[in-house]
Structure formats: C-alpha cells, structure tokens
C-alpha cells in the first residue's frame, strides 16, 4: 500500500513537471537560453510550438518566425524543430537542432534570401542579388561552419567594391572534408568565364583561388578591375587568390 502511494506520488510529480515543461512560455525560455548576439521580439506560444514577430542574429534579419517540435524526432530523444521564417523577401525553412554546447545543426534547409541580408554576416557591405539555398546539412559553431553539404545559387550579383555592373549568376557547391568545409564556384551565364575553389579550415582560416577569363559581354568596369590581377597564363586565365581568417 505504501509502495503504491509512493508510485502514485512519483507519477503525479513527473506529470506535473512534464506539464510545466510542455507549457513553458517561449519568452521565458528564450530569456534564459538565447545567446547575447540574438535579438528576438514579439514572442508567443511555448518552447515546443510558438512564434516570434522578428529575429536578428549576426546581422541577419527575419520576420514571422514559427517553430514546432518534430514529434518523430522527439520519440527518439532528439529535440529537433521545424522552423519557418520570412526575410525581407523570399522564405526560409529548415529542421533545426540546438545542442548544449551552442552548436546549431540545420538539415533539409531550403531558402530564398536577398544577398543583401548576408552582407553583415560575411563582412562585405551593400551586396545585391538573390540567393537560393539547398542544404542537406549545415552545422554552425559560433556562426562558423564546421559541416556544410549543399548548394547556393546566386542570381544577378552586384559587389559595389568591384563596380555597379551586374556580375552575373553563380553556383557554389559546398561539401565537408575531414578538417574543413570546401566549395567549388562556377559562373552560370557566360558574363565572365569563372571557376574557383574555396576552403574554410577548422582553425577559421580560409583560402579562395579563382581563374577568370573576360568574355565579349564582360562590362568595362570589370575589365579595368582585372588589370590589377596577375598576368594571364597561356590559356588566357587570370588568377584571383584570397586568404585570411574568418
């Protein structure tokens, strides 16, 4: 009898705790857990199913953010959320998991974002164009990619540092290696003949090497910029090399 009462009390306490967790207001949980670099407003609902009017993280601004716990993932002990949001234009949707060490894991990421949205995040101001993202998996630690498997297509790119002319369309294919994230970059429209490779190492260093050949439609402003690159090789290609620390 005593054992039965103890069991009933234990079940009651566990039920109460589960009920509190399931109904924990999102604004309370986010106040406790959100890193200082994340600004979020207009929070409604619970940590399991809720929304926010706006979200700003590392210069990236999103509106109408909605999240819900993935039931199938929860059954196997993984707290993964289905997240949808609206940038200034386009859309964002992904399965998202935040680990105890602050690592952010995204899978089945699909998004269309203005390139200007990424300007602050990558440190180049006033970028213009549209980007389409498809990633099977993307893992970030303090905003730094340690796993990236997917593709980014950039349409009508403009880089003011180079000039105000359209630089065309580009495809960037990311893949993960043992100690780095690498990517291949190609042009898609013949404005210039361009092919490059990018490597982002786990020590936050990066190296980009590209080969460029101007074409008949290459704007004069870009041709003038190419004069500052090393002389062309026997195939008419000029090398663009960038190195640094992210």
Instruction: Using alpha carbons, select from 183, 135, 121, 128 the residue that is nearest to residue 157.
Output: 128
Q: Whole-angstrom distance between the N-terminal and C-terminal Cα of the chain?
A: 65
Where are the strands (E) in 42-100, listed by range? 44-45, 49-57, 60-69, 81-86, 91-98
H/E element, 157 = strand 144-158
Instruction: Using alpha carbons, select from 103, 113, 92 the residue that is nearest to residue 146.
Output: 103
Specify the residue for token string 């590209």: 210
- The pLDDT assigned to 77 comes to 57
Q: What is the pTM of this model?
A: 0.79
- The pLDDT assigned to 59 comes to 66
Structure tokens at 136: 């099977």
Alpha helix (H) residue ranges in the chain = 2-22, 26-33, 71-75, 119-122, 220-226
Structure tokens at 70: 């993935």
H/E element, 232 = none
- The pLDDT assigned to 159 comes to 77
- The pLDDT assigned to 121 comes to 59
- The pLDDT assigned to 27 comes to 57
Instruction: Using alpha carbons, select from 93, 87, 89, 42 the residue that is nearest to residue 67.
Output: 93
- The pLDDT assigned to 148 comes to 93
H/E element, 123 = none
Q: What is the pLDDT along the chain (246 residues), one digit of tens a residue?
A: 444 444 433 433 333 334 444 444 555 555 555 556 667 788 888 777 888 888 877 667 888 989 887 766 655 556 788 889 988 888 999 998 877 666 788 899 999 988 887 766 565 677 888 999 999 999 888 778 899 999 999 998 887 766 677 788 999 999 998 888 999 999 888 678 889 999 989 888 888 899 988 888 888 878 888 888 889 899 888 998 888 887
Question: How would you classify residue 205: left for phi > 0, otherwise alpha for psi between -120 and 50, otherwise beta?
Answer: beta
Going by their DSSP bridges, the two strands 192-201 and 205-214 should be labelled as antiparallel
């Amino acid at each position: 009898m005593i054992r039965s009462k103890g069991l009933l009390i234990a079940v009651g306490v566990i039920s109460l705790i589960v009920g509190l967790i399931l109904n924990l207001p999102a604004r309370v949980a986010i106040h406790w857990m959100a890193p200082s670099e994340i600004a979020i407003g207009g929070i409604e609902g619970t940590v399991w199913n809720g929304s926010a009017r706006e979200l700003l993280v590392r210069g990236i601004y999103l509106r109408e953010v909605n999240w819900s716990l993935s039931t199938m993932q929860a059954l196997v002990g993984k707290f993964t959320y289905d997240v949808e949001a609206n940038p200034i234009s386009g859309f964002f949707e992904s399965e998202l998991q935040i680990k105890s060490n602050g690592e952010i894991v995204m899978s089945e990421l699909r998004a269309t974002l203005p390139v200007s949205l990424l300007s602050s995040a990558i440190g180049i101001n006033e970028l213009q164009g549209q980007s389409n993202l498809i990633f099977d998996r993307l893992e970030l630690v303090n905003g730094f990619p340690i796993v990236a498997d997917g593709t980014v297509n950039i349409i009508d790119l403009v880089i003011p540092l180079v000039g105000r002319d359209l630089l065309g369309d580009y495809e960037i294919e990311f893949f993960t290696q043992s100690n780095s994230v690498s990517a291949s970059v190609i042009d898609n429209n013949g404005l210039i003949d361009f092919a490059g490779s990018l490597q982002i190492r786990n020590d936050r260093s990066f190296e980009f090497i590209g080969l460029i050949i101007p074409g008949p439609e290459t704007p004069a402003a870009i041709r003038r910029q190419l004069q500052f690159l090393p002389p062309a090789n026997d195939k008419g290609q000029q090398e663009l090399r960038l190195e640094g620390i992210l």
